[in-house]
Amino acid sequence: MHGVKQQIKDLAADILAGIVDGVVVIDENGGVVIWNRTAEEMTGIAAADAIGKTSQLVFAENPAVVAQISKTLESGRSYSDYEAELSVKHRPPVPVGLVTTVLLSRTGSPLGVLLTIRDQTGVRDLKDRIRRADRLAAIGQIAAGIAHEIKNPLVGIRGAAQLLQSELRDEAKGGLSEYLDVIVKEADRLNQVLEGILDFTRMKPLDVKPFNIHAMLDRALVLNEGTARQNNIVLAREYDPSLPEVLGSRDQLVQVFLNIIKNAVEAMPGGGKLTVVTRMSDLFTSVQADDKKHRLMVVKVSDTGAGIKQEDLQNIFAPFFTTKDRGVGLGLALSYQIVQEHLGTIRVESGEGVGTTFSVYLPLAF
């Protein structure tokens, strides 16, 4: 009989160890009695260090968890907090869902509390992405409407200014002609902004084909070479020649790298080094139209410029975010959308005064 009991106990231990959620049981006096393997991994606290201690002590850095446990014990009810954060020593806090349930004896008196901790990192990331995509879509619709409305009168303004200019030139009124130059130039700039906005919403179907990523990067580099040279910026290429072709819309992706390289050049007004690296990554896309998961490659564009302030990092992909006097703030927002449509991702690392690296992950053709 003893053997069977032990077997069941072992089995229970195996089940607890195999559960992907953190499972913790606290007795009616607040002492920890069960602390499974996932709970060890999520908190960085070993079962041996947790069991027998009070939950106040073990969750000293998480007063909200302690409060939820005692609330559960006192009321005999269950509580869930799907948007909690677990503070962990030496690591950034982990987004978690916490559920506490009271454990009752057969006679209905409370025996303790069962606490499950579910890691929500992936879910939280996904929610952020959806939120960002929603925001882009909404802004896109409004902005496209406005852009159309402004474009037509703008063409009129520009045309009238040019006509006036040619009339004035004949009469050789130099000073006034300068003002008209400003009108035409500013109208052109506004038109560029409007074109940028319209690019968002002209949901051109992607013309997806395998293409040579290095030839495309060279094109984007050549177009920025003049400005780079003027600003004493050294361009360096570190291509992996063994990379297969990338699968995507070449015309849209060249836009992405033109934006990123232009930003890098603009971040180094006093000179510096711009490096473009390509290599294989060990990440994969989700399933694509051809029912396959594609391996990703990565293009890293690094500069030795001013860097991005910590508080700006979360905003740089938002439409119209810019820190430049004459910036538009659409380059990165558009790039993000294009890469997203390719099932790739963009990551950024930046150190103030050190420089910035944009990593663009794109699917390979095979």
Residue 328 binds to ligand ADP (criterion: CB under 6 A): yes
Closest distance of CB 88 from ligand ADP, Å? 31
Contact between 70 and 30 (Cβ < 8 Å): yes
Numbers of helices and strands, H then E, in the chain: 10, 12
Closest distance of CB 226 from ligand ADP, Å? 18
Residue 329's binding partner, choosing from ligand ADP, Mg ion, none, with beta-carbon cut-off 5 to 8 A by kind? Answer: ligand ADP
> How long is the chain?
366
Nearest 5°: CA angle at 330, between 329 and 333?
110
Within 246-265, which residues bind Mg ion (CB under 5 A)?
263
Q: Which three-class secondary structure state does DSSP give residue 342?
A: coil
Token pair for residue 284?
């994969």
Residue 323 binds to ligand ADP (criterion: CB under 6 A): yes
The region of 61-69, 98-106, 229-237, 315-323 touching ligand ADP under the rule CB under 6 A is 315-323
Residue 36 binds to Mg ion (criterion: CB under 5 A): no
Within 256-315, which residues bind Mg ion (CB under 5 A)?
263
The region of 15-23, 213-221, 239-247, 327-335 touching ligand ADP under the rule CB under 6 A is 327-335
Looking only at the bridges linking them, the beta strands covering 233-238 and 272-287 are parallel
Closer CB to ligand ADP, 269 or 327, in the complex: 327
Non-local CB neighbours of 151 within 8 Å, separated by 6+ positions: 191, 194
Given candidates 95, 331, 344, 355, which one binds Mg ion under the rule CB under 5 A? 331
Residue 39's binding partner, choosing from ligand ADP, Mg ion, none, with beta-carbon cut-off 5 to 8 A by kind? Answer: none
CA 364, CA 283: separation in Å to the nearest integer? Answer: 11
Closest distance of CB 304 from Mg ion, Å? 18
- Could you list the beta-strand ranges (E) of the chain: 22-27, 32-35, 79-86, 94-104, 110-119, 209-211, 233-238, 246-248, 272-287, 293-303, 345-351, 355-363
Token pair for residue 3?
């053997």
Within 287-306, which residues bind ligand ADP (CB under 6 A)?
303, 305-306
CA 253, CA 217: separation in Å to the nearest integer? Answer: 9
Closest distance of CB 234 from ligand ADP, Å? 15
Within 236-275, which residues bind ligand ADP (CB under 6 A)?
259, 263-264, 267
The region of 204-212, 299-307, 323-331, 334-342 touching Mg ion under the rule CB under 5 A is 323-331
Within 182-221, which residues bind Mg ion (CB under 5 A)?
none
Token pair for residue 102?
């009271």
Count of residues near ligand ADP by CB under 6 A: 23
Residue 321 binds to ligand ADP (criterion: CB under 6 A): yes
Contacts with Mg ion by CB under 5 A lie at: 263, 331
